[in-house]
Every structure is written in structure tokens, then in C-alpha cells.
């Protein structure tokens, strides 16, 4: 099924968000893509509401994982919702969720669902493979 013009526009907003936010750390550019009523739903501790919460996640992850780059593996749209399957790569050179830097390269996958409103991202639900991340960092055994 071919996405509608509106769905293509929504996908472009999400793609741009990944490029400028998580991958480059450009909070001003990322903020411009978020709706004023933005709401974040992830398993990460996120101090602050709305856009502030998203900025905290981006800042924390980029500080913990040097060279963080997030690529989109799949991107699909259905009406005002866009789903992205992604892969994040970086080197654990900073504290993350209380874990001291390990210097280890990581690759983490996840899926995020975005709801758009008025051409911006209004809501984000995210799930990531934190168990796989903890195995790569040596916190959990690699085979369970």
C-alpha cells in the first residue's frame, strides 16, 4: 500500500527528527519538529515533561554513547501514526543509567511509534532492547 501525501510528510518529519535529534544532538532542530503538546512514553527515566523530557533523553544518551548514530531500518505510516524500527550505535564512554563507562562499542535496536499533529511529532512511544544492551556492557550474561 502506497502512503498518502500526508503519511509521506509525517514520515519525513520522523526521519528528520532521528537525523537531527538522537544522531546529531541538535536540540533546537529537534524541538522545531515537536508539537508544543509533545508527550514521551519510554522506559527511560526522563526528568521533566514534554519537550524537556525528550531533550533530556537525547542529551543523556549522547553523553553516555560517544559517536551515537541512530539509523532507521524500517519506517511505516498509517494516518497520523509513524512506526520506526531503528538501530543505535555508539561507544559507552559516559555514565548511563548508573553504569560507569565501559569503553565498549554497542549496537541497540528498538521500535518507536510516533503520533503526529499539525505536521509535528505530538507523541512518542518507545521500546528498546535494553537486555541486549546490558549483555553487551557485561552487566548480564550473554546467553540466558
Q: Which long-range contacts (CB under 8 A, 24 or more apart) does 87-93 make?
A: 88/22, 88/61, 88/128, 90/64, 90/65, 90/66, 91/65, 91/66, 91/67, 92/64, 92/65, 92/137, 93/64, 93/65, 93/66
Over residues 106-128, the mean pLDDT reads 97
Which secondary structure element, helix H or strand E, spans residue 139, and what is its range? none
- Three-class secondary structure of residue 42 per DSSP: coil
Q: What is the pLDDT of residue 38?
A: 96
Q: Average pLDDT of 119-144?
A: 92
Q: C-alpha cell of 33? A: 519538529
pLDDT per position as a tens digit, 27-85: 999 999 999 999 999 988 777 789 999 999 999 999 999 999 999 999 999 999 999 99
Does the structure show a pLDDT above 80 at 16? yes
- Backbone CA torsion sign across 25, 84, 89, 136: positive
According to the model, what pLDDT value does residue 46 have? Answer: 75
- pLDDT (0 to 100) of residue 49: 80
Q: What is the CATH number of domain 5-136?
A: 3.10.450.50
Whether 26 has a pLDDT exceeding 90, the answer reads yes
Model confidence band, residue 97 (pLDDT cutoffs 50, 70, 90): confident
State the pLDDT at residue 144: 57
Do residues 59 and 25 lie in contact, with contact meaning Cβ atoms separated by under 8 Å? Answer: yes
Checking if the pLDDT of 1 tops 90, the result is: no
Q: Where are the domains of the chain?
A: 5-136
Position 21 scores a pLDDT of: 97
Amino acid at each position: 500500500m502506497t502512503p498518502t501525501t500526508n503519511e509521506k510528510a509525517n514520515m519525513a518529519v520522523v526521519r528528520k527528527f532521528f537525523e537531527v535529534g538522537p544522531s546529531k544532538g541538535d536540540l533546537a532542530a529537534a524541538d522545531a519538529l515537536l508539537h508544543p503538546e509533545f508527550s514521551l512514553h519510554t522506559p527511560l527515566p526522563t526528568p521533566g515533561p514534554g519537550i524537556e523530557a525528550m531533550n533530556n533523553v537525547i542529551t543523556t544518551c549522547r553523553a553516555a554513547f560517544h559517536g551515537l548514530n541512530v539509523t532507521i531500518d524500517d519506517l511505516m505510516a498509517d494516518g497520523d501514526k509513524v512506526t520506526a524500527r531503528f538501530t543505535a550505535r555508539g561507544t559507552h564512554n559516559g555514565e548511563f543509567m548508573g553504569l560507569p563507562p565501559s569503553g565498549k562499542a554497542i549496537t541497540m535496536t528498538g521500535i518507536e511509534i510516533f503520533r503526529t499533529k499539525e505536521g509535528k511529532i505530538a507523541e512518542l512511544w518507545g521500546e528498546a532492547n535494553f537486555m541486549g544492551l546490558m549483555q553487551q556492557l557485561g552487566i548480564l550474561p550473554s546467553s540466558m
